[in-house]
Amino acid sequence: METSAILILAIPLLMFLFLGLAGKYLPHKWAGILGTLGMGVTMVLAYTVAFEYFFSGNSLFIDADGNRLQHVVFNHDWLNFYDKLSIRLGFLLDPISAMMLVVITTISFMVHLYSNGYMRDHHGVWETGFQRFYAFLSLFSFSMLGLVVATNIFQMYIFWELVGASSYLLIGFYYTKPSAVSASKKAFIVTRFADLGFLIGILVLSFYVGFYSDGNITDAFTFTSLTSVPVDGVADTFQVSEGTAQVIRDLFQNSAAPMFMGASVLTWALVLIFMGGMGKSAMMPLHIWLPDAMEGPTPVSALIHAATMVVAGVYLVARLFPLYLMAPAALDIITVVGALTALYAAMVACAQIDIKRVLAFSTISQIAFMMVSLGVTRLDHSVALGHEVHEGLGYMASMFHLFTHAMFKALLFLGAGALIHAIGSNDYTAMHGLRKYMPITHITFLVGCLAIAGIIPFAGFFSKDEILTACFGHSTVWAIWMALVAGLTAFYMFRLYFLIFWWKEHKVHDEHHAPHDQPWTMTLPLVILAVVSVFAGFVPFGSLVTWNGHPITGSGFLTNLENLNWSVAAISLIIAIVGILIAMKMYKKENPLPEKMRNALPALWDWCHHRFYWDELYQFITHRIIFGLVCRPIAWFDRHIIDGTMDAFAAVTNKASYAIRGFQSGNVHMYVWIYLIGAVLLATVTMICVL
């Protein structure tokens, strides 16, 4: 187990170093094969580890009552701050990390495989920097794996940063394109800003844990104890390690705990940590980097900006979920942010032309679903439209959606990549009617669309249904809101689908250069992911991944179907179908309806099309305010005031030198005068002072 764990991290890292240093001297083909193979091995290892965790029944992983346990495979000191606090690097296995291992390695492997085809043109000429691309992919996989298996919040922060950096490198892969460069810069800086919140949150948390406990903060900071906080009324936590857990709990509930602006400092800490998650997961208002990040190669978008990295924020909140449970205010903030983002992104997605941007906004919207789902999770018993809601259902739903979304969104992105590769453009206006030319892409894309729209029995249906159920269990308002967003989702996805594959016949200028399906390296991942997208919904998540390891459903193949809350399911299905039908009506055949609607509400279109002018706002804040009103004045101040003062000392000295030169007039009379005055002054002043 330990060997596998180490290898899961080590193989991608070594692959990065090897390809990064020696890649230049490798033939392109071998670099690709090597990278893919490496990732394949990692995937197999991850599968075995996950399988062992979930299904072996080993007492390390599951206790006698069927509760899943957290297991630290290894954990080594890396950096000692002081005797009580140090950063450890380790490998934590628990339901969500095992699940994430599977997701990441699967998608990553698909992307590795797919890129072998994608990263060369129709004549088989490799992209420049092909080896570098694989090196970066490996680096990203390493960072992401390190992030999900983090045993403590510091390790998470470390890999969090590494993920950000590798994302930066990958977005800016086409570094000669100014748009790619600025997109990568934007992504990094926005997430960095969010990380500032994360960092301060960690600092606050670490301080208070250390301040109130005599024990070792490092131990307390290991997730196993951070998340083993006993919550009132629920005893089924992973593993209660009394001392530190009690401290943390006291921190939250002790009325003497420090307050800041009306909320407990710990709530603040969690909100700040969530801010980090907002950055990575592109929640409003820190979402602006994600659409631009589509400047990167499409496989990268599939890997990073759809399936893995962007859900890191969700993962972070899930990781610390037992803590969040004790700060309902923080959860409420998460709900509100998530809900607003979901609607916003869905609206914007309806008015985009670039297919990758549509997918990007749909990603934002879907991640917001997961966030909302976490935000509405409470442990009190609640009822959703007449059916009892399992305790902690939202958490499970969120993770479930994370899992299914990763699959179908990767599928959609890879499909979009195939289209772009075939057409050479990101705009659907250049596509239209491609269904005949690219049948495999068409079918797989359709599967993806159905999945995301939430049509039974595709994967998205089950997970989204659970989310809505959780919402209904918490608050009807948010539930309806989210249901509407789900409808919008169906609409814009099918708008995209119809505009790409239907609308009107594709104009082909030259039969030889007609768009066609891509080579097997690209289609195989599509097919695999499509199959997964169809069946992933049946994975019995309730028995595998729950917030406290306690299974809430059975583990049969049809469990999900059996446990459906059919009232909710009906609502979501109806809404989704309505959405699809409207999209079909508007976009299946070329017709003037879209134009008419656009003209009916021009302002709405403009705002949606321009993404509610968020970018312009940021542009204003950064360029006008930060650069114009802070940086430039400071630079000016430095050059003119500070520097000027120093220069002034010199200038004054020089001036003084010239001013007094008259004393040295060359005239003996003057010399003697001054001599005399000096002597007399010396005498008189002393007399006045002394006598």
Partner 1 sequence: MDYSQFLLMKQEVALLVVFLLVFLYDTFAPKKALNALSGITCVLFGIYTVACFCPCVTGASENVFNGMYETSPIIAMIKNVLNVGVLIVLIQSVNWANSDATAVRRGEFYELLLVTLFGMYLMISARHFLLFIIGLESASLPLAAMVAFDKNRYESHEASIKYILTAVFSSAIFLMGLSFVYGLTGSLYFSEIGAAIAAASSPMLICALAFVIAGVGFKLSLVPFHLWTADVYQGAPTPVTSYLSVISKGSAAFAFLVILVQCFSAVYAAAWEWMLYALIILTITIGNLFAIRQRNMKRFLAFSSVSQAGYIMLGIIAMNAMGLAAMVYYILVYVFSNLAAFGVIQAIENHTGKVDMDDYRGLSKTNPKLSFAMMLAMFSLAGIPPFAGFFSKFFIFTSAINQGSIAIYVLVLIALINTIISLYYYLLVVKAMYISDETPVIEKFKSSFTDRLGLTVTVAGIILLGIVSVVYNHILTLASHSSLF
Partner 2 sequence: MELNALYYLIPSLIMFACGVYGFITRRNMIAMLISLELMLNSVDMNFVVFNRFLFPGQLDGMFFTLFAIAIAAAETALAIAIVVNVYRANNDIDVRDICKMKF
Partner 3 sequence: MLFSNILIYFVLIPMLMLGGVALCRNIKQIRAVAVIGSTALIALSAYLIAEFLKAPVEDAVDGMYYYQSWHWFTAQNLNINLTVGVDGVSIAMLLLSSIILFTGSFASWTIAQPKAFFLWLILLSTGVFGFFISLDLFTMFMFYEVALIPMYLLIGVWGSGNKNYSAMKLTLMLMGGSAFLMLGLIGIYYHSSVDGHHTWNLLEIARNNAISTEWQYFLFPMTFVGFGVLGAMFPFHTWSPDGHASAPTAVSMLHAGVLMKLGGYGCFRVAMYLMPQAANDLAWIFLILTGISVVYGAFSACVQTDLKYINAYSSVSHCGLVLFAILMINTTAMTGAIMQMLSHGLMTALFFALIGMIYGRTHTRDITKMGGLMKIMPYLAVCYVIAGMASLGLPGLSGFVAEMTIFVGSFEQGMTDFLAGAGSLRLVFTVIACCSIVITAVYILRVVGKLLFGPVQDKHHLELTDATWWERLSTATLIVCVAAIGCFPNFFENLIRGTFDPELFRAIAMNLNF
Q: Is the torsion defined by CA of 358, 359, 364, 369 positive or negative?
A: positive
Q: What DSSP string describes 344-404?
A: HHHHHHTT--BHHHHHHHHHHHHHHHHHHHHHT--SS-EEETTEEEPTTHHHHHHHHHHHH
Give the binding-site size for partner 3 (rule: CB under 8 A): 53
**Coil, strand, or helix at residue 73?**
strand
Check residue 262 and report its DSSP letter.
T
Name the one range near partner 3 by CB under 8 A: 74-82, 226-234, 373-381, 392-400. Answer: 74-82
Which residues lie closer than 8 Å to 637 by C-beta, 6 or more apart? none
Q: Closer to partner 2 by CB, 253 or 664: give it.
A: 664
For partner 2, give the closer residue by CB, 203 or 677.
Answer: 677
Based on the shown chain and the rule CB under 8 A, indicate whether residue 601 belongs to the binding site for partner 1.
no
Tell me how far apart the alpha carbons of residues 6 and 58 are, in angstroms, rounded to a whole number: 20
Find the part of the chain contacting partner 2 (CB under 8 A) among 39-47, 473-481, 632-640, 669-677. Answer: 669-677
Instruction: State the first-to-last Cα distance of the chain, in angstroms, to the nearest integer.
Output: 95
Beta bridge partners of 560: none
Quick one: what does residue 631 bind among partner 3, partner 1, partner 2, none, with the CB cut-off 5 to 8 Å set by partner type? partner 3
Q: Other C-beta atoms within 10 Å of 368: how many?
A: 30
Distance CA 248, CA 252 (A): 7
Find tokens 């920097």 and name the residue: 129
Q: Which does 634 bind (CB under 5 to 8 A by kind): partner 1, partner 3, partner 2, none?
A: partner 3
In angstroms, the Cα distances linking 482 to 28, 193, 372, 577 are 47, 28, 9, 15
The tokens for 47 are 């599968």
**Gap between the Cα atoms of 669 and 268, Å rounded:** 81
Ordered DSSP codes for 201-234: HHHHHHHHHHHH-SS-HHHHHBHHHHT---BTTB
Q: Kindly tell me which residue out of 240, 642, 648, 681 binds partner 3, with binding defined by CB under 8 A.
A: 642
Among 344, 381, 370, smallest CA distance to 463 is for 370
Contact yes or no for 467/398 (Cβ under 8 A): yes
64 or 660: whose CB is closer to partner 1? 660
Instruction: Calculate the CA dihedral of residues 402, 102, 270, 551 and round it to 10 degrees.
Output: 80
Give the closest residue to 19 by CA, choosing from 165, 129, 132, 128: 132
591 binds partner 2 (CB under 8 A): no
Beta bridge partners of 62: 68
Nearer to partner 3, 78 or 675 (CB): 78
Which of residues 601 and 648 has its CB atom nearest to partner 1 in the complex? 648
- Quick note: the x/- pattern for partner 3 over 203-232, rule CB under 8 A, is xx-xx--xx---------------------
Rounded CA separation 138/524 (Å): 21
Q: Which of 509, 602, 653, 662 binds partner 1 (CB under 8 A)?
A: 653
**Does 646 contact partner 1 by CB under 8 A?**
no
Which distant-in-sequence residues (6+ apart) come within 8 Å of 326 by Cβ?
229, 231, 249, 252, 253, 266
Cα–Cα distance measured from residue 651 to residue 649, given in angstroms and rounded to the nearest whole number? 5
The minimum distance between CB 229 and partner 3, in angstroms, equals 21
Binding residue for partner 2 (CB under 8 A) from 661, 688, 690, 691?
661
**Beta pairing, strands 382-384 & 387-389:** antiparallel
| Distance (Å, whole) CA 662 – CA 679 | 20
Q: Token pair 């980097």 is at which residue?
A: 289
Phi-psi region of 621 (alpha: psi -120 to 50; beta: other; left: phi over 0): alpha
Is 427 within 8 Å of 420 (Cβ atoms)? no
Tell which one of 15, 34, 73, 85 touches partner 3 (CB under 8 A).
Answer: 85
Size of the site for partner 1 (CB under 8 A): 29
Residue 638 interacts with, from partner 2, partner 3, partner 1, none (CB under 5-8 Å by kind): partner 3
Q: DSSP string of 613-626? A: GHHHHHHIIIIIII
- Residue 39 near residue 109, CB atoms below 8 Å: yes
User: Does 570 interact with partner 1 (rule: CB under 8 A)?
Assistant: no
Partner from partner 2, partner 3, partner 1, none contacting 196, C-beta within 5 to 8 A by type: partner 3
Position among 57, 592, 602, 666 found at the interface with partner 2 (CB under 8 A): 666
Cα 52 to its chain centre, rounded Å, is: 28
* 466 vs 373: CA distance, rounded Å: 9
- Tell me whether residue 648 or residue 682 sits nearer to partner 3 (CB atom): 648
Query: Using the rule CB under 8 A, which residue among 181, 257, 336, 340 binds partner 3?
Result: 181
| Near partner 3 by CB under 8 A: residue from 625, 630, 680, 685 | 630
* Residue 674 binds which entry of partner 1, partner 2, partner 3, none, CB below 5-8 Å type-dependent: partner 1
Query: Running DSSP on this structure, what letter comes out for residue 630?
Result: I
Residue (642 or 672) nearer to partner 1, CB = 672
Residue 691: name its binding partner from partner 3, partner 1, partner 2, none (Cβ under 5 to 8 Å by kind): partner 1
Torsion of CA 253, 314, 575, 441, to 10 degrees: -170
Smaller CB separation from partner 3, 5 or 180: 180
Distance CA 271, CA 276 (A): 9
Q: Which stretch binds partner 1 (CB under 8 A): 334-342, 392-400, 572-580, 681-689?
A: 681-689
Choose between 261 and 691: whose C-beta lies nearer to partner 1.
691
Tell me how crowded residue 558 is: count the other CB atoms within 10 A of its CB.
Answer: 10
Residue 630 contact, options partner 2, partner 3, partner 1, none, Cβ 5-8 Å cut-off depending on partner type? partner 3
From the list 632, 673, 674, 684, which residue makes contact with partner 3 (rule: CB under 8 A)? 632
Q: Supply the minimum distance, in Å, between the C-beta of residue 87 and partner 3.
A: 8
Print the binding letters for residues 588-627 with partner 3: x by CB under 8 A, - otherwise. Answer: --------------------------------------xx
Does residue 668 belong to the site contacting partner 2 (CB under 8 A)?
Answer: yes
- Rounded to a whole number of angstroms, the minimum distance from the CB of residue 643 to partner 1 is 17
Instruction: State which of residues 667, 688, 690, 691 lies at the interface with partner 2 (CB under 8 A).
Output: 667
One of 14, 189, 379, 456 touching partner 3 (CB under 8 A):
189
**Interacting positions 406-435 with partner 3 (CB under 8 A):** none
Residue 172 or 375: the one with the smaller Cβ distance to partner 3 is: 172
Supply the minimum distance, in Å, between the C-beta of residue 628 and partner 2: 49
Which 670-689 positions form the footprint of partner 2 (CB under 8 A)?
672-673, 676
Site residues for partner 2 per CB under 8 A:
661, 664-669, 672-673, 676
**Under the rule (CB under 8 A), what is the footprint of partner 3?**
77-82, 85, 87, 154, 158-159, 161-162, 165, 168, 172, 175-178, 180-182, 184-185, 188-189, 192-193, 195-196, 199-200, 203-204, 206-207, 210-211, 258, 626-627, 630-632, 634-635, 638, 642-643, 645-646, 650
- Site for partner 1, rule CB under 8 A: 650, 653-654, 656-658, 660-661, 663-664, 666, 668, 670-672, 674-680, 682-683, 686-687, 689-691
